[in-house]
């Protein structure tokens, strides 16, 4: 794993965006794996600025998002589909039909999961996957204990994840109890992974990631087994690492 240090969140986002812009320029038909949460917001904003200023085109790009809350339709303002539309897709020239987010309100969620996995395979997999990390080491919504063999599946969210995400909802009670997420095996099939870690609240997770061997109790540790992972971390995330180690 390669670790790149950025001075702050802004610089981290800019470095990540520049990496993505270059990948899109090199392969205009790239398949991107995209993430939600607070961390990638700066990347999307940089990519939108670049699209407007330099004309980088996403016309031939396909995207697959990592996860979606169970029970929320794509029209729900708290859904990850809405998040992606508002924060990225509506501001670039990507074809909406080429943007995929798991369906959180399918009648048959298990079938929706299998269909999503099949769709990723039909697109010959993800070329570049963007990842954030949860304080408990989750990637996507793969909570501690998730099998490294898992493909897209339904997951019960832990209390800590629901609390961390409650800031986006009217109350903790409003945060869904479950989600649909690409599995660990789905993520590991990506050809290349870019993991973003920002803020001192993530430094313990970063430390554990860098110091642990792959173990299902800490989902992100699986990344140690992937041949092409770049971690982009800001000083706040790295500072805790140095002080505590």
Indicate which residues carry an active-site annotation.
67, 136, 138, 143
How far apart, in whole angstroms, are the C-alpha atoms of residue 82 and residue 171?
A: 19
How far apart, in whole angstroms, are the C-alpha atoms of residue 203 and residue 162?
A: 20
Output the smallest distance, CB 39 to ligand GLP, in A.
Answer: 3
Output the smallest distance, CB 60 to ligand GLP, in A.
Answer: 25
Output the smallest distance, CB 195 to ligand GLP, in A.
Answer: 9
Is 218 an interacting residue with respect to ligand GLP (CB under 6 A)?
Answer: no
Is 35 an interacting residue with respect to ligand GLP (CB under 6 A)?
Answer: yes
Closer by beta carbon to ligand GLP, 31 or else 129: 129
Is 236 an interacting residue with respect to ligand GLP (CB under 6 A)?
Answer: no
Q: Which of residues 117-146 bind ligand GLP (CB under 6 A)?
A: 132-134, 140-141
Long-range contact list for 226-230, CB < 8 A, 24+ apart? 226/1, 226/188, 226/190, 226/193, 228/191, 228/192, 228/193, 229/1, 229/2, 229/192, 229/193, 229/194, 229/195, 230/1, 230/2, 230/3, 230/4, 230/19, 230/192, 230/193, 230/194, 230/195
Is 219 an interacting residue with respect to ligand GLP (CB under 6 A)?
Answer: no
Among 50, 67, 117, 151, binds ligand GLP (CB under 6 A): 67
How many residues of this chain interact with ligand GLP, rule: CB under 6 A? 14
| 102 burial level (CB within 10 Å; 0-12, 13-18, 19+) | buried
Question: Which residues sit at the interface with ligand GLP, rule CB under 6 A?
Answer: 35-39, 66-67, 132-134, 140-141, 161, 165
């Amino acid at each position: 794993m390669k670790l790149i240090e950025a001075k702050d969140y802004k610089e981290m986002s800019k470095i990540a965006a520049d990496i993505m812009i270059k990948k899109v320029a090199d392969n205009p038909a790239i398949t991107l794996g995209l993430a939600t949460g607070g961390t990638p917001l700066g990347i999307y904003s940089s990519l939108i600025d670049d699209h407007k200023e330099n004309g980088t085109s996403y016309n031939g790009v396909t995207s697959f998002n990592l996860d979606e809350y169970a029970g929320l339709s794509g029209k729900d303002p708290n859904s990850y589909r809405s998040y992606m539309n508002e924060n990225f897709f509506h501001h670039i020239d990507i074809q909406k039909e080429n943007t995929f987010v798991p369906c959180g309100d399918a009648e048959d969620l298990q079938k929706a999961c299998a269909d999503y996995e099949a769709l990723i395979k039909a697109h010959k997999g993800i070329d570049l996957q963007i990842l954030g990390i949860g304080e408990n080491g989750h990637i996507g919504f793969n909570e501690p204990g998730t099998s490294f063999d898992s493909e897209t599946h339904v997951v019960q969210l832990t209390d800590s994840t629901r609390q961390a995400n409650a800031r986006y909802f009217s109350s903790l009670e409003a945060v869904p109890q479950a989600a649909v997420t690409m599995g660990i095996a789905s993520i590991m099939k990506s050809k290349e992974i870019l993991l973003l870690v920002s803020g001192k609240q993530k430094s313990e997770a970063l430390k554990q990631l860098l110091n642990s061997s792959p173990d299902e109790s800490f989902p992100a540790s699986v990344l140690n087994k992937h041949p092409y992972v770049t971690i982009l971390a800001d000083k706040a995330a790295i500072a805790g690492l140095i002080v505590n180690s």
